[in-house]
Amino acid sequence: MGERRLFPASVVDELPYCVEGIAKGLHFVYGWILTLEGEVSSDVTHRALDRAFSYYPKSTCILVNNYPSYKRWFRYCWEHTAVRGKDIVDEVTLSDPDFTIEKAVDYYVHNHVSLSIDISSHIPLKVLLIRTPQRTFFSFIMHHSLSDGMGSFCFIQKFIECYEDIFYQREPADHHSPRFEDISLPPIPFRWNYFSPRRIRPYLSYNDLFRKEPPMRLYPHTFPEDYGTFVAGVRPVPPQHLEAMGRTARKNQATINDYLLATTFQTAKTWSRAWAGQSERIYITVPMNLRAPEDCTLSNILSSANVSLRADIIGNKETLLPLIREEMNTLARNDIAQTMVSLSCLLKPVPLALRKLLLKYAIPGFSPTLLLSNLGVLSPNPSHQDEHGFHYLGPARICNIHLIPNAGTWPDLLVSTYNKQLAVTIAVVSSCFSQEETERFLNCFVSTLME
């Protein structure tokens, strides 16, 4: 590893970093928090991270702009480093015996600036261990340029596998070589078929609607210039309500995602009725995973699409679910998510300075009402779980898992399920919602979810 290793950064890896550079106060980091009961070894953690790094060399890269050629005007590159696991782990010991996941999220919020990552000087991953008398809170803090949510969870699964191999002195299941070629994924090459009428016409119509009917806001003021501080919250949903959601969705030939979208539309309408008109259109951005089922790379193989409805047609879930299913089918039929990420190839020949300028003026114009992500069912270690459905990290039981998303000037709602327990988290900036407003909005969403 003596020679210098430079790898082209994907254009979708560059975007979060570019936005950070022009939107001061926004940090595109997100945090996985695993709540553990039982022994967690610092030494094994360090060694397991080292082994996981060898599977995922992108996790020990920094983003630089020093190609030895004119390329540096147009592209960033990932530079591999020799960082070790012990270099990125920070441990905190607290005496509070009643330290809960809500307090762990508060700790993450209050320390968000120090936990954020400048990927031009630090690898895009930090690990925080908060030890309390009853539990250990194991946080993986990642920059969005490293990976999307599903790819980062694959890293956590590999880390847990490495941890148990070391802890139980097992021979690793595979003997691999680092896949350095994965660092630049996805490449997104230019292809003429991206501009075929079948793709472009519906995509232009889709974007034109956003211009003709701007999104309703969840706050009664203009787009903020000062983003303020990071705000987040978390709420659990009892298992019986998850079962009820499934029954209602099946009854209406819909999915759990459709049910969550219906709840989000209802919550947005209820929340903003004091200042928003009934004819205004609510836009919910839905991330869409473009990964193949077997793809476990650390990369941003992700796109999104806006599902939109006017506030005056939003009623109960029975009337909403067919409308949402129709909208989702239209987005899928027109391949909107794939077209959006494919067209990012047009940014490759744009100089970085001009790209940042374009993004600066584009961000306010393309801000949705809110964003909703559903990570589905999380299975961190299916090879080691008990009869109650809890998974393990060595001898430590994983009680629950939460992902705290990065924040924008619109609320970012995220839903995940672990061991039949559904959890809702929210992240936003204080110029949009205060901490008190965030808690009220989250309560409104969860109560609407359980109606």
Does the domain at 6-184 match CATH 3.30.559.10? Answer given as: yes
Residue 155: CA count within 13 A, CB half-sphere = 29
424 close to 383: Cβ distance less than 8 angstroms: no
pLDDT digits (tens, 9 = 90+) for 101-156: 999 999 999 999 999 999 999 999 999 999 999 999 999 999 999 999 999 999 99
State the pLDDT confidence band at 276, using cuts at 50, 70 and 90. confident
Q: What is the pLDDT of residue 168?
A: 95
Handedness of CA 32, 254, 419, 297 (dihedral sign): negative
Sheet arrangement for strand 302-310? 230-237, 421-429, 412-418, 370-377, 281-289, 302-310
Alpha helices in 2-41 (DSSP H): 11-22
Tokens of residue 59, six digits: 């996790």
440 CB neighbour count, 10 Å cutoff: 14
pLDDT digits (tens, 9 = 90+) for 328-357: 999 999 999 999 999 999 999 999 999 988
The residue whose two tokens read 């793709």 is 199
Fold of the domain spanning 192-349+364-374+408-449: Chloramphenicol Acetyltransferase (3.30.559)
Position 299 pLDDT exceeds 60: yes
Q: What is the pLDDT of residue 1?
A: 43
pTM: 0.94
The residue whose two tokens read 């694959």 is 154
122 close to 38: Cβ distance less than 8 angstroms: no
Range in 8-12, 19-23, 56-60, 212-216 with the lowest mean pLDDT: 19-23
The DSSP output letter for 23 is S
pLDDT digits (tens, 9 = 90+) for 307-333: 999 999 999 999 999 999 999 999 999
Position 201 pLDDT exceeds 70: yes
**Intrachain domains 6-184 and 192-349+364-374+408-449 with the same fold:** yes
Q: What are phi and psi of 399, to 5 degrees?
A: -75, -40
Q: What is the pLDDT of residue 225?
A: 65
Q: What is the pLDDT of residue 386?
A: 95
What is the residue extent of each domain of the chain?
A: 6-184, 192-349+364-374+408-449
When the pLDDT of each residue in the chain is averaged and rounded to a whole number, the result is 92
Of 24, 20, 435, 438, give the one whose Cα is nearest residue 224.
24
Q: What is the pLDDT of residue 243?
A: 86
Residue 209 identity (one-letter amino acid): L
Q: What is the pLDDT of residue 2?
A: 47
pLDDT digits (tens, 9 = 90+) for 37-57: 999 999 999 999 999 999 999
- Residue 437 sits at the vertex; the CA angle it makes with 327 and 324, to the nearest 5 degrees, is 10
Residue 388 identity (one-letter amino acid): H
Which conformational region is residue 177 in: left (phi greater than 0), alpha (psi within -120 to 50 degrees), or beta?
beta
